[in-house]
Amino acid sequence: MPATANDPRTSRTRSWWGWGYADAHPDDAECAALGALLPGTLTRPLPIPRIADLPIGRPAATPPPALAHLVTTDPPTRAAHAMGKAYRDVIRALRGRSGRIPDLVAHPTSDQEVADLLEWAGEHDVAVIPFGGGTSVVGGVEYRGDAHRAVLSLDLTAMDRVLEIDATSRSARIQAGTLGPLLEDQLRPHGLTLRHFPQSFEFSTLGGWLATRAGGHYATVHTHIDDFVQSLRVVTPAGVGTSWRLPASGAGPSPDRLFLGSEGTLGVITEAWMRLRERPRHKASAAVALPDFHRALEAVRAIAQSDLAPANCRLLDPGEALLSGASQDGSSVLILGFESSTSPVDHRLAAALDIARAHGGHPEPPTTDRDAPADTAVGAWRSAFLRMPYLRDGLARMGAVVETFETAATWDRIPALIDAVRSEVATAALKATGHPATVNCRFTHVYPDGAAPYFTVAVAGRPGAEVEIWDEIKAAASDVLHRHRATITHHHAVGRDHRPGYDGQRPEPFALALRAAKNALDPHHVLNPGVLID
């Protein structure tokens, strides 16, 4: 399904330039109201960009007749495949700076068609960018530079079926182009679930999750897609490979680990055997107000180091809690949730609430409903969480710079890291714009040895210079993370925009091994060049 096509489940149209569905974007009045929250934004929103205004030229390459039926060159489809959905991408579209638009978009339906397209591309100096749902926020689906004659976006969403279910082993063979909702729709009649729900779930694919090592929004235990992989099937210019289905193995470096997170630089993931779970039947959740943020950190650490394993353990600092509507009194808010397919979870929630009380927390009454009422802190947070990407685009239309920096670090470094990011990123934003910035923090995932703090910065930009301001803020944030030995990314891949930070994080022997793998598997260097590997 191309990124501009109607969703067959809803008959709604995806936005080619911004997040999600076109009809869910804030209107001009809501954009203006959002802009009023940040001093210095525009007086009226930027107009929604039109495909007709883009510099879309004639394709620089033509596929052979045997592949022509797989390829489209129509402008709307090419425009929808030009960039991802980062703030940087959205503001460039609004400012008419979309970058290099792919010459061709292909929709293969089989491994053989993927292999044929790669073979043709390698022979004709055509760069190939694997494309799932197009939700990348790190430049991972965009071609930059001019080293290739033409660019082909390889859209896998026509490969969207659950091919086989092994109920005995509780696993399934799934095509990589399957969007999150369609995947779950096909598993639901069997009482099974993959249980992987990133914020982009509605608009992203299994292959995208695998190629970017995506994190879901379960806060403990199995947090990343890696944990669910049983085997992969990958098409490379050097051939097709399928790893064995095994519950575990100590036989040398794992072939799956080579391709997980490789962002389409080593091969195209076309299908995978994935470990499944029974669908949960028992759920319980509650929110806890914590007046002291540092005591809140200790409460979260204590819960993470218990054996309670909450499905949700999300800490919102006072600014984040206010923004989501979870708190109005300056408290931090801890969102706790538990679920199970076999037994009630009320006792686990009660134990977690006891830990929070011991650290000065004040819990709301728990709820066992799947969707907490909107007037609870849990319900307010959930609504804000789903709406947030659309609001970011609304702020972008007002000329604001809005970005989230995700990371993870060990517990001993967390307090100093949070203080440094808040201070230095706010200072960098003020220096770049002349306007005060807000820098909020939330924990999305917690582990016994550390946590994943995410920071959101919002500041009024200078008209026409939003990308340059974003670059300055990004550089300041990356510098802080590097000094505190925090990862450049926790929730998804490196892409082009996190590449400098990643280069500082990875050991050089590993970098050499990656380059050797790239040279062996993609000798023409046509697969997503410049993302993860030189």
Angle formed by the axes of helices 414-433 and 293-304, nearest 10°: 130
Q: What band does 369 get if pLDDT is binned at 50, 70 and 90?
A: low
Residue 352: the pLDDT is 97
Rounded distance between C-alpha atoms, residue 198 and residue 386, angstroms: 11
Mean pLDDT score, 180-205: 96
What are the tens digits of pLDDT across the range 449-488?
Answer: 999 999 999 999 999 999 999 999 999 999 999 999 999 9
What are the tens digits of pLDDT across the range 142-166?
Answer: 999 899 999 999 999 999 999 999 9
Q: What band does 9 get if pLDDT is binned at 50, 70 and 90?
A: low
Beta-strand pair 400-406/277-278: unpaired
Measured CA to CA in angstroms, residue 12 lies from 6, 121, 389 at distances of 5, 33, 17
Residue 375: the pLDDT is 58
Residue of 296 and 327 predicted with greater confidence: 296
Which of 260, 269, 188, 182 lies closest to 228 in space, CA to CA?
260
Q: What band does 7 get if pLDDT is binned at 50, 70 and 90?
A: low
Residue 125: the pLDDT is 96
Rounded distance between C-alpha atoms, residue 344 and residue 340, angstroms: 7
Domain spanning 162-278, CATH class: alpha beta
150, 103 contact by CB (below 8 A): yes
282-483 has which CATH code?
A: 3.40.462.40
Share of the chain above pLDDT 70, in %: 97
Residue 372: the pLDDT is 58
Which of 90, 198, 99, 212 lies closest to 502 in space, CA to CA?
212
Mean pLDDT score, 416-443: 96
220, 239 contact by CB (below 8 A): no
Rounded distance between C-alpha atoms, residue 177 and residue 202, angstroms: 13
pLDDT at 243 over 90: yes
Q: Which of 239-243, 379-383, 454-458 has the lowest mean pLDDT?
A: 379-383
Q: Which of 9-13, 173-177, 232-236, 473-477 has the lowest mean pLDDT?
A: 9-13
Rounded distance between C-alpha atoms, residue 234 and residue 247, angstroms: 19
Residue spans in the chain of domains classed CATH 3.40.462.40: 282-483
Share of the chain above pLDDT 90, in %: 87
pLDDT at 216 over 50: yes
Residue spans in the chain of domains classed CATH 3.30.465.10: 162-278
Residue 239: the pLDDT is 94
Residue 3: the pLDDT is 40
pLDDT at 75 over 50: yes
Mean pLDDT score, 354-373: 83
Sort 392 into a burial class: Cβ within 10 Å, 0-12 / 13-18 / 19+: buried
Radius of gyration of the chain (CA): 23
Residue 156: the pLDDT is 98
272, 176 contact by CB (below 8 A): yes
285, 367 contact by CB (below 8 A): yes
Half-sphere exposure of 170 (CA within 13 A, CB side): 12
Residue of 150 and 364 predicted with greater confidence: 150
Residue 4: the pLDDT is 42
CB atoms within 10 A of CB 343: 10
Mean pLDDT score, 227-244: 96
Residue 2: the pLDDT is 38
Residue 11: the pLDDT is 77
Residue 263: the pLDDT is 95
pLDDT at 185 over 60: yes
What are the tens digits of pLDDT across the range 87-134?
Answer: 999 999 999 998 899 999 999 999 999 999 999 999 999 999 999 999
Residue 385: the pLDDT is 80
- What lies within 8 Å, CB to CB, of 454 at 6+ separation is 404, 405, 406, 407, 441, 442, 443, 444, 490, 491
pLDDT at 6 over 60: no
